Amino acid sequence: MKYIESVKNPQVKQWKKLLTKKEREKTHTYLLEGFHLVEEALQYKDEILEIIISEEVEFPSNWNVDNLPITRVTTEISRSISDTETTQGIFAICKIRKAVMNELTGKAYLMLDGVQDPGNLGTMIRTADAAGIDAVILGMGTADLYNPKVLRSAQGSHFHLSFLSGRLDEWIIKLKEANVPVYGTALENGIPYKEVEPASSFGLILGNEGNGVSKEVLALTDKNLYIPIFGKSESLNVAVAAGILMYYFKN
């Protein structure tokens, strides 16, 4: 087991760079933090390049790491590469999965149009996983899939779902060619979601927290839906709305 004690070590500097989207895209790797997430990653060992553990943390004896490289680091290093205020002191460097472009895998799709809040994105991914969605399609302007806050909010669901990206208008065309109905979400010219029968095959589009789904995208959908508000709140959080609709359609 290797031991690193200097925050100036080149490898430590490289780990820290992975907190930026630019470096993640450049190296096709990302930094995963926390016991639960690292344990989940161990179910997919071929995606792990290295495990990093702080000197004051005891390595779980029941973890099967095979021949994965493990590096011990000082508490100072652990804090320097962490994205949290109180780190658990355990990390994994993982490979970014190569997305299979232009390929539809499954029947149920969550499509995101400019969802910018990492916490919302991670929650939506986790809920999509729980609801049995096959793939998440990340449209332009959506937060980075491997942002540390997205990873924490998704709680390991990154390993369970397929992810696609690109222009939503192009994906809508592909879904329609595959006879998959596509539903937008909007109050204007929308109908209550329960007026549409649940189906095993669908594409569901949720939009930006402030502006919703773009008009250009809404114009291409089969129908646009809304969730009625029965109290005095003006709107629902986008991740909550996504959860209600995904579970309705997967009923």
> What is the CB neighbour count within 10 angstroms for residue 141?
14
Binned at pLDDT 50, 70 and 90, residue 251 comes out as confident
Q: Per-domain residue ranges for the chain?
A: 2-95, 108-249
High-pLDDT (> 90) share of the chain, %:
92
pLDDT of residue 57: 97
Q: What is 2-95's CATH topology?
A: 60s Ribosomal Protein L30; Chain: A; (3.30.1330)
Binned at pLDDT 50, 70 and 90, residue 176 comes out as very high
Edge-to-edge strands, sheet with 191-192:
162-165, 135-138, 108-113, 202-207, 182-185, 223-226, 191-192
pLDDT of residue 101: 54
pLDDT (mean) for 155-169: 95
pLDDT of residue 164: 93
pLDDT of residue 196: 97
**CB 71 within 8 Å of CB 52:** yes
**Structure confidence by residue, pLDDT tens digits, 194-243:** 999 999 899 999 999 999 999 999 999 999 999 999 999 999 999 999 99
Q: Is 90 exceeded by the pLDDT of residue 99? A: no
Q: What is 108-249's CATH topology?
A: Alpha/beta knot (3.40.1280)
**Structure confidence by residue, pLDDT tens digits, 6-28:** 999 999 999 999 999 999 999 99
Q: Distances in Å between the alpha carbon of 131 and those of 49, 192, 249?
A: 30, 21, 9
pLDDT (mean) for 180-184: 97
Give the residue among 201, 154, 147 at the shortest CA–CA distance from 179.
Answer: 201
Token readout for 43 is 């179910």
**Structure confidence by residue, pLDDT tens digits, 29-48:** 999 999 999 999 999 999 99
* Ramachandran sector of residue 179 (left: φ over 0; alpha: ψ -120 to 50; beta: rest): left
Q: Is 70 exceeded by the pLDDT of residue 65? A: yes
Alpha carbon distance 13, 77 (integer Å): 10
Token readout for 32 is 């995963």
pLDDT (mean) for 167-189: 95
Alpha carbon distance 19, 29 (integer Å): 10
